[in-house]
Structure 1
Amino acid sequence: MITLENKLNVVVIAGASGIGRKIVSAFAEQGCNVFVCDISESHIKAFKKEFPDIFIYRADVASYEEVKTFYTHIKEQVTHIDVLVNSAGIAGPTAALEDVDPSEWATTMNINVNGMFHCIKEGIPMLKKSSNPSIVNLASSASFYGFPLRSPYTTAKWGTIGMTKTLAMELGKYNIRVNAICPGSVSGERIDRVIEADAKEQGKTIEEIKSLYVKQVSLKTFVEPEDVANLTLFLASPLGRYISGQAIGLDGHTEGLSAEL
């Protein structure tokens, strides 16, 4: 088990549910000060019941003003942050590119790319004050492949890798490490919705699509949210002190993302 020697100040974006919530739990169990934002009122309400002592604020990461307000609240409580975890993201539409509505494309980019930019931009000044600063961006196994019927999502996730590697170069002189975790299909509500949409688009059953997703992975299984949380904890710990600029696959080895394999 990874143990953090120091009590870190950790910001988790979109931490009220799913992968983000597991990441919050992992850092909280280590005694860290965790600050969370999320857009879902229902998820925030449920989060407060489980973590009554953790600060959580409703913010839409696509809005720079809302992100700035979130960080203003953090600055009222601490002078620096040690870890920034960007886990906000949406799956976007499932359709051939010619059938994608421009508004859906824009929404996917605004949340998955612009939202990450907003959160990192506001976080950098506080990270510079840390003795062990780290940024962890959640990308996807789609960051390494083409992904038919998922062009907005795939484009955004390739952009995450570009941002990660560029920031690792820009921020290295401040000792800020920047990495991306690239999970495969992670068990939970989001992948269930994606599979359902994929099945509808391809005229197949949900069971057929899920079987195809599993078939595309060498280990023949989905990733669990806890796996992502554990890797995030590792990258933020002293054990990951020389890891930066990396896009780390956490997917049981994806062999491809074509419609048929």
Structure 2
Amino acid sequence: MKSDERRVMDVCDLRVLVTAGASGIGRAIAGAFAEAGSLVHITDIDEAAIQRALSEDTRLSASVGDASNAADVDRAITDVGGKWDGLDVLISNVGIAGPTGPVAAYADEDVDRTIDVNLKSHFYFAKRCVPLLKASPTPSILALSSVAGRLGYPYRAPYAATKWAIVGMVKSLAPELGPDGIRVNAILPGVVSGPRMEDVIAERAIILGIGIEQMRQAYLERISLRRMVDAEDVANLALFLSSPLARNISGQAISVDGNVEYL
């Protein structure tokens, strides 16, 4: 690759699959890639959200399904294989907040669901996408973890455990798939502004017996830059890591979080 090519964050014409791409961070990532000229297919369990996304951006295509259900994942990959003869980027973004509370209070089914959605889905998509990625000249996998994947997170243990596990998956797949030219990295968003974070703040405020605004300020005080990040900040990092500028970055867990000091 020529030196001038390495300076260009070019993702035009990349074939990109974004899981949980109909809302939140996934929607921001899908929109950023489409805006940059990539071909983007999204999956999501929420059919109404998918319809909204498709109506807002006609450049997207989509599959409806539960990422924690192997049969639904198979259907999504069949859809992708029917559209393209390969895949350049898998952005494995599926995740739920999981239960908030002390460990003794967790319902078993809530823990099981958190593991199924936040961890199993990443393995399901990686397993099925690797053959498609091998047909690409510039293949990569981006797995969305969290700043909770490098820090302890009291009252959110199931969520944090799955996010640490995603980093372990990335650290394992990078050397496994590296000989095939497939780069594998994890993105660790910090405190992302939006409805989901507001729900987490409200739930934790109840547990700690403090006001919601006090809880919100407590989160901000733990961030060096004293501000939350936006979904677009995460999308920008995904664009970079999928571009020629990042051609030698693999096996890394990269935070975009304003430097969260503790949770």
**Length-normalised TM-score, structure 2:** 0.95
SS state at 1:79 partner: coil
Cα distance, 1:33 vs. partner? 0.8
Cα distance, 1:158 vs. partner? 0.4
- Corresponding position of 2:67: 61
SS state at 1:76 partner: helix
- Corresponding position of 2:113: 107
- Corresponding position of 2:159: 153
1:35 aligns with 2:41: yes
- Corresponding position of 2:212: 206
| Equivalent residue in structure 1 for 2:147, among 141, 150, 165 | 141
The whole-number CA distance in structure 1 between the counterparts of 2:16 and 2:53 is 17
SS state at 1:92 partner: coil
Residues 201-238 of structure 1 deviation map (CA, whole Å, 9 limit, x = unaligned): 22211101110110000000001111000000000000
SS state at 1:137 partner: strand
Cα distance, 1:41 vs. partner? 2.1
**Is contact 2:11–2:239 with CA below 8 Å preserved after alignment?**
no
* Identical amino acids, percent of aligned pairs: 42
Cα distance, 1:53 vs. partner? 3.6
**Range with greater deviation from structure 2 (128-137 or 191-200):** 191-200
**Is contact 1:3–1:30 with CA below 8 Å preserved after alignment?**
no
- Corresponding position of 1:25: 31
The whole-number CA distance in structure 2 between the counterparts of 1:250 and 1:78 is 31
1:186 aligns with 2:192: yes
Show structure 1 runs of 4+ deviating over 3 A.
none
Letter in 1 for 2:220: V
SS state at 1:219 partner: coil
**Is contact 1:2–1:234 with CA below 8 Å preserved after alignment?**
no
**Is contact 2:34–2:59 with CA below 8 Å preserved after alignment?**
no
**Is contact 2:39–2:59 with CA below 8 Å preserved after alignment?**
no
Task: Mark the runs of 5 or more structure 1 residues left unpaired by the alignment.
Answer: none
The whole-number CA distance in structure 2 between the counterparts of 1:74 and 1:116 is 17
Residues 218-259 of structure 1 deviation map (CA, whole Å, 9 limit, x = unaligned): 0000011110000000000000000000000111111111xx
Mapping for residues 113-128 of structure 1, pairs under 5 Å: 113-128=119-134
Task: Mark the runs of 5 or more structure 2 residues left unpaired by the alignment.
Answer: 1-6
The whole-number CA distance in structure 1 between the counterparts of 2:55 and 2:206 is 36
Provide closer, same or farther for how the CA distance between residues 230 and 157 of structure 1 changes in structure 2, counting only shifts above 3 A: same
- Corresponding position of 1:98: 104
**Length-normalised TM-score, structure 1:** 0.96
1:82 aligns with 2:88: yes
The whole-number CA distance in structure 2 between the counterparts of 1:40 and 1:92 is 17
Cα distance, 1:45 vs. partner? 2.0
The whole-number CA distance in structure 2 between the counterparts of 1:2 and 1:238 is 7
